[in-house]
Amino acid sequence: MPGRPARGSQSVRNLFAVILAVAGVTAVFCAAPGPPRSAVLFIGDGMGPAYVTATRVARGGSSGRLRMDGLPHTALSRTHSTDSPVTDSAAAASAMACGQKTANGILCEDATAVYRKRDGRKLESIAVWAKKRGLRVGLVTTTTVTHATPAAFYAHEKDRDNEAGIARQAVASGFDFLLGGGRKFFPEDMQAEARAAGWTIVETADALRAVPGLDRRILGLFSDGHLPYQPEIEAARARAGGEGAAGHGVAGAGGGTDQGGMGDPAGDTVGGPAARSAPTIVEMTRWAIDGLRQTGQPFFLMVEGGRIDHAGHGNWARTAVDETAAFDEAIGYAVDTLDPKTALVLVTADHETGGLALNGYPDEKDGIWSAYRDPWGEKGDEPYPVVTFSSGPGTKRQTRRPPHGADDPRPSALSLGSAAHTGTDVALYAWGAGAERVHGTVENTTIYTILREHLEGKTRGR
C-alpha cells in the first residue's frame, strides 16, 4: 500500500542505518588512513660495504661522511638466492621487490621456476601492489630499464636476459614513469605501442626537464644500452662547456657490446652522444621526487645505482667510487626533500661485486689510491695497492677502456674476464617513518615486508 510503509520495513531501514553507522565508525578506527605514506627504495647494485667505505675515504678521508652514513637505522641483509649462497641481481631484486626468494636469473617468479627452462608461480611486486592501490609508482635506473633490478618490479621472467620480452612487460606495467637506458629493446613498433598505451617517450636530459608534470606516463630511454658512467657524463659536459679540463681521460665513443648473462658482465662503455645528452642519476632522482611530490599523492619509487656493479665487474675502482658517490648524492636529495613523518627511505645493495678490499695500513694522507709498503713486512714483500678485488680482469685482462683509463683497474686475485659477485651480507639503511623497523640481521625479503607494512600504514609514523 503506497504512502503507508509497514512497521517492518521501517525497522529494516533503522537497522540499516545502525549498520551503516557502525561500519563508518569501524572504517574510521580500523583503516586509520592518516596522512598518505610514501617510500623510496635505493638499490646500489653491487654496492657491498667496502664500496661504501672506499667512497667515503676517497671523497672525504677516513672521517668523512656520506649521506647514507647519516641514515639513523641500519641492519645487515642476507643476500643468498634459493639455489646459491651467491645471488645474481635478478634473484636479489625479486626477493626485495616481491618478498620471496627465488633462483638466480629469475624475475619475480617463485622458486619453482628453473632458469631459462620453466616458469614458476608469478609473484606480485611491491610496485604492482602499490599501483593497484592507487599510489604513484616510478622506477629510475642507470642501466637499461629492462635490466634485472628494475625488471623485478614489473616483469615475470624465467630468463632475465630476455630484455625484448621484458620491454613488452614494461610497456604493460602502467607505472607513472620508467627512466633509464635500453632504447634498443624498444624498436619503433613497440614505441608506437607504448605511445598508444599512454606513454610519452623522452630521450634526453633536456627533454626530461621539459616534462611539465606526471599527468602522462614517461618512458625515459636515454641511451641504446646502459646509461654512460657518471665520469663519462661529467667529462662530456666539461668538454661541451669548453672548459677543456675533463681530467678523466675518458674514452670517446666507446665500443663494446652488452653481454647480458647471469654473471652481469661489465656491459658497454657507452660514451658518445649519450654521454652528452643523458641525465645523471641525481638529475633523474630529483625529477622523480619533485614530480611525485607535486602530485600530492602517496608513491613508491625505486632508484637503482646500476653501474656500481658494472664498474665492479671490470675492477674499475675509481669508476665504482664515482658511481657510488653519485648514488649517495641522490639519496641525499630524497632525505633533504621528503617528510620523515610520512616517507620511508631505504638504502641497500642487492649483493657485493668482485670482492673489493682495502688492504694494508696506508697513511691517511696517501689515501686509498696509493700503494702501501709495509716497513715491518717479511723479506720479499713488495709494495701493494690498497684497493684490490678478489676476482675479475684486474690490471692485466682489460678488454674495454675504462672511464678513468689506466688509473681505473685494480688488481684481482682470481683472474676472470668479468668479476664474480660475492656472497657477503650487505648493509640496509633506513630513514623516516617506520625506519626503526630496520635492525639486526635480516633476509633481503624483509625489505618487501617493511615497505609493504609502511605503505599499508601498519608502522608508526613520527
Which region holds residue 244: left if phi is over 0, alpha if psi is between -120 and 50, else beta?
A: left
Q: What angle do CA 82, 83, 84 make, to 5 degrees?
A: 105
Residue with nearest beta carbon to Zn ion:
264
DSSP for residue 354: T
What's the CA gap between 177 and 150, in Å, rounded?
A: 12
Nearer residue to Zn ion within complex by CB, 74 or 391: 391
Given a contact cutoff of 8 angstroms between Cβ atoms, the answer to whether 443 and 25 are in contact is no
Member of 109, 161, 268, 309 binding Zn ion (CB under 5 A) = 309
Interface map 403-442 toward Zn ion (x if CB under 5 A): ----------------------------------------
> Would strands 441-443 and 73-78 be described as parallel, antiparallel, or unpaired?
parallel
Candidates 1-9, 107-115, 172-180, 301-309: pick the segment binding Zn ion (CB under 5 A). 301-309
As measured in angstroms, the least distance from the Cβ of 266 to Zn ion is 9
What is the nearest approach in angstroms of Zn ion to the Cβ of residue 316? 13
CB closer to Zn ion out of 182 and 434: 182
Cell of 237: 659536459
Q: Which span sits near Zn ion by CB under 5 A: 5-13, 179-187, 305-313, 425-433?
A: 305-313
**What b/e sequence results for 125-155 when a residue is b if at least 16 CB atoms lie within 10 Å of its CB, and e otherwise?**
bbbbbbbeeebbbbbbbbbbbbbbbbbbbbb
CB of residue 149 to Zn ion, shortest distance in Å: 10
Residue type, 84: S
Total residues at interface with Zn ion (CB under 5 A)? 2
What CA–CA distance (Å, rounded) separates 170 from 178?
A: 8
Q: Which of 153, 152, 155, 146 is nearest to 187 (CA)?
A: 146
Tell me whether strands 421-422 and 352-353 are parallel, antiparallel or unpaired. antiparallel
Rule CB under 5 A: say whether 161 interacts with Zn ion: no
Q: Which is nearer to Zn ion, 232 or 350 (CB)?
A: 350
Residue 458 Cβ, how far from Zn ion at the closest point, in Å?
33
Stretch that binds Zn ion, among 32-40, 123-131, 155-163, 302-310 (CB under 5 A): 302-310
Give CA 226 to chain center in angstroms.
Answer: 14
Among residues 11 and 84, whose Cβ is nearest to Zn ion?
A: 84
Distance CA 267, CA 310 (A): 7
Task: Map residues 244-273 to x or -, x wherever contact with Zn ion holds by CB under 5 A.
Answer: --------------------x---------
Which is closer to Zn ion, CB of 71 or CB of 90? Answer: 90
Query: Is the CB of 234 or the CB of 425 nearer to Zn ion?
Result: 425
Residue 232 or 309 with smaller CB distance to Zn ion? 309
Strands 177-181 and 217-221: parallel
What whole-number distance in Å separates Cα of residue 339 and Cα of residue 351? 29
Stretch that binds Zn ion, among 147-155, 186-194, 306-314, 368-376 (CB under 5 A): 306-314
Residues that bind Zn ion (CB under 5 A): 264, 309
